[in-house]
Structure 1
């Protein structure tokens, strides 16, 4: 015969188990927390440049939105302009090559690289006019060369001239914005231009047989980065993590779907797209913070100091201009910077 209180004890046990289960469920739910609020970010970037593909893919494929980010892209034709937009508070972040980062550090501007998103050795170079007597690199001596000063196009030009046993004293430099180089060369204001794609390819197409391109391979490797002001990064660490997660998805899209990725570049002609896709395997889309970035920035700062492009005469500590926390949270294996 069962004890009269056995049913009561059984019911009490069931209630305890049920309450414990509900408590565990609520605890797990609260540990996960509610989804983060949607945050608005404005990114200044060159929407015509292949290196911005991870950004545009993250936007077009909804990766930003899936990480609770509402992103507005503001187009600029150079990283220098994009960084200026951030510094004038027209944007929160910018995509830039290494040169603008170097100049920001020389000038003590509090910005930091969040991650490199793209590398290539194929997008810089020079285009010269054959009908201006230029058939080889040494023919540039005494010629007028259009370039956007204090940019990667300027740095690549000086390296190229050094390979020809020339320097900037042997040529006449003319300063133009990146999207002004084509017209300057077509109008005959200059004999050659130094810059990057898509502008160089558009110039080649416009000049046709009169164009002679000197590629930048083995002269300059573009290291394209996402940067933001240091105060912003200190105030929005979780936003940076979500941004990097979306960019990682965008970079994978660019790696695995080149034709669809190339369609994201609005100014590509059919000929330009074919040329770009042929070069696609040489492009590296992916997030990283590599020690080589620091070495490049140091070399470039010595170039800028030697050329008196900055009033500063001391190489800065570029570790102060790298933000590692976001990448260590998202992809720690890709952080090889020694700090």
Structure 2
């Protein structure tokens, strides 16, 4: 247990930081804002902005709705359940082949070790070269599916010999435990939870650095201009939350742990892999295009030409925020 003095100092530090950040409240926007947020620590900026009143500081009334996965957040956005959503770039790529009525307005975190491959030892899999003929659980049209196929390509394994099993993220762990699949491609916190539940009967393959996942804030395209000032204010709240993560990492992790009901020890194990920052750089465009080329060449989609992802990235709100802060803009 940490000494009481240290805890008091930490609380005082957070309190002082929030007093500085909060300052004088901004004018209140008239309409409340509902955001679909994936229930993962990747969403920490939204969680902290909600928990510490940073949205209210910007005059925003925000309702956070948690979903299991960015693919479900995207569905909620498109169905009109919410006005904004968080999602991986892979979900954006898959859906860009089907529709063009959404925009990515900011990337708020990246990680090269969030999606992991977990296998049962008794399945006879020691490396990706052994996965042919086995059942692999994954989430369709998500970072889970793209990551798995990327790993196959990098190891020279033909995907035709794989038996894909598509399940929701919360069902993949039980499926692996019950021998319904032999391996799963799954993001945190599920990946860590699955590995812990299997104990010595399971293991995770070494895949760090194989894939750069980004989590992005998405809006309906028609709302980008109509709600420009709202989006800019929201990004300012996220910027303040990211600053809190950087200045008070221990307290930020504890707050996220409490919000998502995930043990702090679990979050500690993958928190160092997260790079929280607000951006819309060329890397996002390149990642989307690379993934789209895979989708075309693999026959995953019927189209023969990739979408022009420049049409799906809108940096007006981010540029407005950086203009206010005197920093760099979004996409060059």
Q: By the TM > 0.5 criterion, same fold? A: yes
Contact residue 87 and residue 218 of structure 2 kept, 8 A:
yes
Moved more, 121-130 or 324-333: 324-333
Q: CA deviation at 1:192?
A: 0.6
CA distance 1:252–1:215, shift in 2 (3 Å): farther
Query: Secondary structure of the equivalent of 1:313?
Result: coil
Instruction: Give 5+ residue unaligned stretches, structure 1.
Output: 1-33
- Deviations 1:166-194 (Å, cap 9, x if unpaired)? 12212111101111110110110001101
SS at match of 1:118: strand
Regions of 4+ moved over 4 Å: none
Contact 2:139 2:145 (8 Å CA) reproduced: yes
Instruction: Tell me which moved more, 256-265 or 97-106.
Output: 256-265
Provide the residue aligned with 2:329 in structure 1.
335
8 A contact 1:121–1:221 mirrored in 2: yes
Residue in 2 that maps onto 1:35: 27
Pick closer, same or farther for the CA change 1:270–1:237 going to 2, 3 Å: closer
Q: Deviations over 1:199-258 (max 9, x none)?
A: 100001100011110243221111110010011122111101101100101111222322
2:56 counterpart residue number: 65
Native 8 Å contact 1:142 1:171 kept in 2: yes
Distance 1:305 1:334 in 2: 34
Matched, 1:45 2:37: yes
CA distance in structure 2 between the partners assigned to 1:274 and 1:294 by the alignment: 30
**Aligned twin of 2:217:** 226
- Structure 2 portions without partners, runs of 5+: 1-25
CA displacement, residues 76-128 of structure 1 (integer Å, 9 cap, x when unaligned): 11111100000000000000010111123222331111100001111112000
Please state whether the residue corresponding to 2:113 is helix, strand or coil.
coil
| Whole-angstrom CA distance in 2 between matches of 1:104 and 1:134 | 32
Q: Please, which of 258, 266, 269 is the counterpart of residue 272 of structure 1?
A: 266
Following the alignment from structure 1 to structure 2, what is the Cα–Cα distance between the partners of residues 250 and 199?
24
CA contact (8 A) 2:128 2:157 kept: no
- Pick the aligned partner of 2:306 from 299, 310, 315: 315
Residue 114 of structure 2 is aligned to residue 123 of structure 1: yes
- CA apart distance, 1:336: 4.9
1:90 partnered with 2:81:
yes
- Given that 2:41 and 2:267 are in contact with CA atoms closer than 8 Å, whether structure 1 keeps it comes out as no
Which residue of structure 2 aligns with residue 291 of structure 1?
282
Contact 1:95 1:225 in 2 (8 A): yes
Determine the C-alpha separation between the residues in 2 that align with 1:336 and 1:92: 22
Q: 1:237: which partner in 2? A: 228
Secondary structure, in 3 states, of the residue corresponding to 2:90?
helix
Shift of 1:38: 4.2
User: What is the CA distance between 1:324 and its match in structure 2?
Assistant: 1.2
Q: Deviations over 1:122-143 (max 9, x none)?
A: 1112000112222222221211
Assess if the C-alpha contact under 8 Å between 1:327 and 1:334 holds in 2: no
Match of 2:250 in 1: 259
Give the TM-score taking structure 2 as reference length.
0.86
Q: Is the 8 A contact 2:38 2:86 kept in 1?
A: yes
In the alignment of these two chains, the number of paired residues is 301
CA contact (8 A) 1:43 1:71 kept: yes
Q: Taking structure 1 as the reference length, what is the TM-score of the superposition? A: 0.85
Instruction: Say what the alpha-carbon RMSD is for the aligned residues.
Output: 1.6
Secondary structure at 2:133 match in 1:
coil
- Closer, same or farther: CA 52–311 of 1 in aligned 2, 3 Å: same
C-alpha displacement at 1:270, in angstroms? 4.7
The structure with the larger Rg is: 1
Residues in 2 aligned to 1:270 and 1:37: alpha-carbon distance in whole angstroms? 35
**Residues 58 and 250, structure 1, Cα contact 8 Å, conserved in 2:** yes
